[in-house]
Amino acid sequence: MLRQFNGAMLLLAIISFSSCRKHVMDDMPMEKSIDYPAAYIVNGEDATISVIRLSDNAVSETIDLMGSSGDMVMWPHHIYHLQSLGEHRLTIAVPGMDLSEGHAGGMAGMKGKVIVMDAVKGTILKDLEVPVMNHNAVYSPDGKEIWTSQMAMEGKVLVLDAATYALKNTIQVGMEPAEVTFSSDGSKVFVANSGDDNVTVISPSSKSVIATVPVGDNPVAAWIGYDGKMYVDNEEGKSVSVIDVATNKVVQTIELGFMPGSVSHNAPKKELWVTDPENGKVHYWKWDDTMKDWMHGGAFDAGAGAHAIGFSADGNTAYVTNQMASSVSLVNTASHSKIKDIIVGKKPNGIVLKQ
């Protein structure tokens, strides 16, 4: 009887251990193999990333940020991509609150996060808490630093060592800074200060403020132009301020008549696209070489809460996130018409393409 009892106990222990091991393995994030051109979409409400395979424009993977990082991840927002030394990295900012209705104002006491992800394996490399909610996090062009905003009344930009994640510099900027972006040549950093209606220009090498550029009411980001310009979307001002990178001056103001979601420059087509979230549309402007000016070309339907835009490398295809429709609109840029909607997670906002 004792031998039978011991055998039964041993069998029970093996079964219990196996069940426990299976439960642990099930909870562990599985590595992906995203070794193909893809679009990464941040779903704010779901705290997930939808991966769209560009070859067939189908959702190929869904990455759970909550499960992967092990910590609470609330309302991830914008995403950036860096390829350096053969590695593909993604940076994701987690402000901790829903910014789908607009970006004005931060929540007092709210902390933010910077998530660094392996873009091919889909695994979290770092989940770093920062003192104040942040709008985005972006690698420096050389991949040695990560820059992120601190959306407080006394605005700051934090510069982190990309290898150790240690804080290297703290740069004072304007009130409630939102997006931090590098110019296309990497020579300057632009910080949109929503509370001060201006943009701070910073030298990435010296970490010193070069200029402060007045723009429209409630600027959210100085989006990258590949023509020596930066394009600032002013939410309350319902306009786009065009900043010349060389002179740090506004050279044109484009009056929109609607609150912009974001701005994206399609360099191969010489077009500027601005999303209109309240009407679910995208407006586009064409560059006139004779007039040396942006001229409104028209508008087309995307989806409710149209927000961020990503272009294919050849400029022939666009991807537009629709926050209120839980979708991404696939767009033919030649005809300015929607091909189809791709269903993703809830409240998709940031998008980046790995091509």
pLDDT of res. 192: 98
Domain boundaries, the chain: 256-350
Question: How far apart, in whole angstroms, are the C-alpha atoms of residue 97 and residue 82?
Answer: 25
Which residues make Cβ contacts (< 8 Å) with residue 247, sequence separation at least 6? none
pLDDT of res. 100: 80
pLDDT of res. 72: 83
pLDDT of res. 106: 53
Q: Are 202 and 212 in contact (CB under 8 A)?
A: no
Question: Which two tokens mark 242?
Answer: 């065009």
pLDDT of res. 84: 82
pLDDT of res. 71: 72
Question: How far apart, in whole angstroms, are the C-alpha atoms of residue 348 and residue 282?
Answer: 16
Question: How far apart, in whole angstroms, are the C-alpha atoms of residue 193 and residue 267?
Answer: 26
Q: Are 304 and 320 in contact (CB under 8 A)?
A: no
Among all chains, which residue has been given the structure tokens 């091909």?
Answer: 339
pLDDT of res. 157: 98
pLDDT of res. 108: 63
Question: How far apart, in whole angstroms, are the C-alpha atoms of residue 63 and residue 66?
Answer: 9
pLDDT of res. 13: 42
Q: Are 220 and 178 in contact (CB under 8 A)?
A: yes
Q: How many CB atoms lie within 10 A of CB 26?
A: 8
Question: How far apart, in whole angstroms, are the C-alpha atoms of residue 57 and residue 49?
Answer: 15
Which residues make Cβ contacts (< 8 Å) with residue 299, sequence separation at least 6? 276, 281, 282, 283, 284
pLDDT of res. 17: 39
The fold for domain 256-350 equals Neuraminidase (2.120.10)
pLDDT of res. 267: 97
pLDDT of res. 185: 97
Q: Give pLDDT < 50 ranges for the chain.
A: 1-28, 105
Under DSSP, the state recorded for 3 is H
pTM of the model: 0.90
Q: Are 342 and 58 in contact (CB under 8 A)?
A: yes
Q: Are 77 and 136 in contact (CB under 8 A)?
A: yes
pLDDT of res. 70: 60
pLDDT of res. 186: 97
Q: Are 320 and 41 in contact (CB under 8 A)?
A: no
Question: How far apart, in whole angstroms, are the C-alpha atoms of residue 40 and residue 60?
Answer: 10
